[in-house]
A = this chain, B = another copy of it.
Amino acid sequence: MARSAIRLGELAAEFGCELVGDPQVTVSRVATLSDANGGGLSFFVNKAYRDQLRSTSAAAVLLRPADAGDCPVNALLAEDPYLAFAKIAGLLHPQPDLVAGTHASAVISPSATIAANVQLSAHSTIGDDVTIEADVFVGPGVVIGPRCRIGKASRLLANVTIVQDAEIGERCIIHPGAVIGSDGFGNAQSDKGWVKVPQVGRVLIGNDVEIGANAAIDRGALDDTVIEDGVRLDNLVHLAHNVRIGQHTALAAQNGVAGSTTIGKRCMFGGQVGIDGHLKICDDVIVGGKSVLTKDIMEPGYYVGTFSAEKDKEWKRKVARFRRLEGLVSRVRILEKKADDE
Contact = CB atoms under 8 A, between A and B. Distances in A.
Contact of A30 (B185, B198, B288, B292): B198
A179 B188 contact: no
Interface in A307-342: 307-312, 315-319, 321-323, 325-326, 328-329, 331-332, 334-336, 338-339, 342
Contact of A328 (B182, B247, B332): B332
Contacts of A90: 195-198
A198 to B, nearest CB: 4
B140 A107 contact: yes
A319 B213 CA distance: 34
A76 interface: no
Interface string A69-100: 00000000000101101110110111000000
A238 B222 contact: no
Contacts of A57: none
Contacts of A258: 252-253, 270-271, 289
Contacts of A301: 311-312
A66 to B, nearest CB: 19
A232 B87 CA distance: 37
Number of this chain's copies in the complex: 3
Interface in A135-160: 139-141, 143, 145, 157-159
Nearest to A273: B309
A213 B85 contact: no
A256 B290 CA distance: 10
B312 A195 contact: no
Contact of A308 (B86, B250, B292, B328): B292
Contact of A213 (B182, B195, B303, B332): B182
A16 to B, nearest CB: 12
Contact of A197 (B85, B248, B331): B85
A274 B290 contact: yes
Contact of A305 (B80, B103, B196, B307): B307
A159 B235 CA distance: 17
Nearest to A108: B122
Given A139-B143, A175-B183, A292 B312 contact: no
A218 interface: yes
A243 to B, nearest CB: 11
A262 interface: no
Contacts of A238: 234-236, 253-254, 271
A24 interface: no
A158 B161 contact: yes
Contacts of A290: 274, 292
A76 to B, nearest CB: 15
Contacts of A114: none
A305 B315 contact: yes
Contact of A272 (B82, B188, B274): B274
A312 B304 contact: yes
A306 B318 contact: no
- 7 A-B pairs with the lowest CB-CB distances in the bound complex, closest first: A305-B309, A86-B188, A193-B230, A291-B309, A216-B235, A182-B213, A125-B140
